[in-house]
Amino acid sequence: MMSLLVVLDKNADTPFHHQSVEHIRLGYRRCVFKRDAIYYRIGEDAVEIMAILVRQDQANRAL
């Protein structure tokens, strides 16, 4: 099973592989891993993780 750290490492190796989401913010890209969306941008010498959003299951959330 692939871990989040492995996915982040692969993003650093091939940052242009994932979808551009410039409609959200200029220069942002998105990688989906399991139930999470990782938003990042490509800096001068590094991939910068801007946000990791975790999708919550609505049926299991306490009201």
User: Mind spelling out the 3-state secondary structure of the chain?
Assistant: CCCHHHHHHHHHHCHHHCEECCCCCCCEEEEEECCEEEEEEECCCCEEEEEEEECCCHHHCCC
Q: Is residue 60 predicted with pLDDT exceeding 80?
A: no
Domain count, the chain: 1
Read off the pTM: 0.79
CB neighbourhood size of 38 (10 A): 20
Give residue 29's domain range. Answer: 4-60
Report the CATH number at residue 56: 3.30.2310.20
Q: Is residue 56 predicted with pLDDT exceeding 80?
A: no
pLDDT digits (tens, 9 = 90+) for 1-52: 578 888 888 888 999 999 999 999 999 999 998 889 999 999 999 999 999 9
Query: What is d(CA 47, CA 35) in angstroms, rounded to the nearest whole number?
Result: 21
pLDDT number for residue 59: 59
